[in-house]
A and B are shown apart, each in its own frame.
Chain A
Amino acid sequence: MVKFTAEHEIFRRTVREFVEKEINPYADEWEAAGTFPAHELFKKAAKLGLLGVEYDPAYGGGGADHWYTVILGEELGRADCGGVPMAITVQTDMATPALAKWGSHELKKQYLEPALKGEMVASIAVTEPDAGSDVASIKTFARRDGDEYVINGSKIYITNGTQADFLTLLARTSPEGGYRGMSLIIVPTDRPGFRVARKLRKLGNHSSDTAELVLEDVRVPVTNRIGEEGQGFYLQMQQFQKERLIAVYTAIGGMRRAIERTVAYLRERKAFGGPLLSMQYIQYTLAELIVEIESLRQLAYAAAEGVVAGEDVTRLATMAKFKAGRLVRRVADTCLQFHGGLGYMEEMWTARYFRDSRLLGIGGGADEVMLRVLTRTEGLEA
């Protein structure tokens, strides 16, 4: 059983207060607006050290252990909306891990440091109209021209896309097909030829802006490449592990809060001569969900222990991401159901949570992609 230290618990309170004071009071407004002030909020988060928990203090990171990231995710997940936590974790654990691990010193000074200060907003740009789960099919091409890459292509479903100052972009840098010939490149969005084609409307996570981006002859220095040319796919695959884990930690925090809120409601809500919580069907259903959430939490903690030990956690992270994607839908559905007609009302948290919960089984690697990975890790290939 994981024992968090007193320092971990102090950090948990810091994140919880940040969520309660800096996110929750504005969640309704940002959901209605379809966006949130990323630069403003990220600066506040950065001041508390929330944007660079594990990163090198030389670039403004906290140099903390991975359990602090677990806590960050769990506590952000307790926010009144899914969109803002998603936007923050894109900045911290999806768009920057490869830059921090394999980027050059100059590149980290130029982009990682301002990102950790909240002065720059980052997006991870992998998905394209014709390539989502099938990452090997991406077509965006970065052609070498002297000391520059000339980039052409489009990216879609990009979180923070309308506000981003730079993209961590996966593009082809040589004509080989499949997994080879791709590179991860930092693309500042103030370059000529870059444009936000449109802001996308989504089922949920309304407070987070999502965009389709177009790159037409966008020139960036070759030194903006992260790691070696042609290694992009492999670097991105490793970066995906961070993405999946933070998504799982966030989902766990969200589910635990959803159950807490539902139990509190059912304790008060009287029907058939007593509180609804006294109904055995309700008690058993909730108990079963709590078992599922706790099982997932322990699986996630096992993966976190692997991260701390410096191990490859692909297997456990993939299992946890799959389990979380499925479970969060069940939890959101059950919580809504147990609130009855009220739960279906837009004024209740259950309606938003139900919408927001649907994304986890798709984003960061769909359930089916997780199963496909597990077929390999579990030796199920015939």
Chain B
Amino acid sequence: MNIIVCVKQIPDPETPASSFRVDEAAKKVVPAQGIPPVVNPYDPQATEAALRLKEAAGGGKVTVISLGPESARDAIKHALAMGADEGILLNDPGFEGIDNFQTAVALAKAIEKVGQYDLILMGRAAADWDMGVVPMGVATLLGIPCVSIAKAIERVDGKVRVTRVLDDGFQTVEAPLPAVVSVSNEFGEPRYPQLRQIMLAAKKTVQVWNAADLGLSADQLGEANRWLKLEALYVPKVESKVEIIEADSPEEKARILAQKLRADKLI
């Protein structure tokens, strides 16, 4: 079973609030000093799903693709250290500042170039922008089904059976292969890379493809050709006010509190 996993490198979500900065004029997040970027936390779950499916199928290949700067190679290496077989880094100056639709276009081109695939897995969303639309975009461009937010995936009779996470329960659906499936944290703990696998990963090669390799032209790339225009980017200001309720008894305090909450339409 040949599976392609798309992974993304993002700023560490554990970055302390005191180190997190936004350049409002440039509409960009300023990378925190001394805090290296990490693999999007949902992506190791997609890799884990791919490895389990490959193991269940008794063979196949797991190819990892990441679009990003040279440092995104580390996100690929993480997946290789978990046990994935091959890595491809999509790296081009034209990818700087692109939106999720442009990303989906580039990923779809790369997947077509890889050629043989039964399944494409991604994390349910990237924890930086948290939009979760790239899986649908890629599936639409490839003309194949997309099943989002999976907690369980199995291959049954040449199809994929996916249990999806809903707000109030679960839903099990089937789709023909090939398909795109986005994997949620409910899938379960991804394996830690073992030292032996890490050492092996060091020997695996990561190919680098640029925009020309994917057949993408300049008018499809760059910040200027975004479909989604970013109007403003800022850290919301949270103001907290404290009001101490003075009264003679706890009952009286509770009564005043209840009146205030009702006045503010909170209860």
Contacts and interface: CB of A to CB of B under 8 A. Distances in A.
Contact of B193 (A10, A57, A64, A68): A10
Interface in B94-141: none
Interface in A41-86: 47-50, 53, 57, 62-64, 68
Interface in B14-37: 16, 18, 36
Contacts of B74: 6, 9-10
A267 B192 contact: no
A11 B74 CA distance: 12
B55 to A, nearest CB: 16
Nearest to B71: A6
A11 B198 contact: yes
Contacts of B78: 10, 13
A62 B73 contact: no
B198 A14 contact: yes
Contacts of A344: none
Nearest to B202: A7
Given A7-B201, A7-B202, A267-B18, A48 B77 contact: no
B193 A5 contact: no
B196 A14 contact: no
A10 B81 contact: yes
Contacts of B36: 9
Interface string B50-89: 0000000000000000000000011001100100000000
A18 B195 CA distance: 12
B202 to A, nearest CB: 5
Nearest to B18: A267
Contacts of A49: 194-196, 198
A14 B74 CA distance: 14
* Chain B interface, >50% SS class: helix
B199 interface: yes
Interface residues of B, number: 17
Contact of A14 (B73, B195, B202): B195
B77 A7 contact: yes
Contacts of A18: 192
A341 B201 CA distance: 49
Contacts, number: 52
A294 interface: no
Contact of A10 (B16, B196, B201): B201
A356 B74 CA distance: 36
A17 interface: yes
Given A10-B81, A267-B18, A5 B192 contact: no
B192 A7 contact: no
A241 B198 CA distance: 27
Interface in B119-167: none
A346 B197 CA distance: 40
A10 B198 contact: yes
Interface in B167-197: 192-196
A18 B194 CA distance: 11
A62 B201 CA distance: 13
Q: Looking at A13, A18, A57, which has the most chain B CB atoms within 10 Å of its CB?
A: A13
A266 to B, nearest CB: 13
Given A6-B74, A9-B36, A62 B202 contact: no
Given A14-B192, A18-B192, A7 B198 contact: yes
Contacts of A64: 195, 199
B77 A10 contact: yes
Contacts of A267: 18
B266 to A, nearest CB: 28
A55 to B, nearest CB: 11
Contacts of A264: 16
Contact of B195 (A9, A13, A17, A50): A50
B64 to A, nearest CB: 13
B194 A7 contact: no
In the complex, the 8 A-B pairs of residues with the closest C-beta atoms, listed nearest first: A49-B195, A62-B195, A14-B192, A6-B74, A6-B77, A7-B202, A10-B81, A49-B194
Given A6-B77, A13-B192, A18-B192, 10 more contacts: A6-B73, A7-B198, A9-B36, A10-B193, A11-B193, A13-B193, A14-B193, A17-B192, A48-B192, A267-B18
15 contacts: A7-B77, A7-B81, A7-B201, A9-B36, A10-B78, A10-B193, A11-B193, A13-B78, A13-B192, A13-B193, A48-B195, A49-B196, A49-B198, A57-B196, A62-B199
Interface of A: 5-7, 9-11, 13-14, 17-18, 47-50, 53, 57, 62-64, 68, 264, 267
Interface of B: 16, 18, 36, 73-74, 77-78, 81, 192-196, 198-199, 201-202
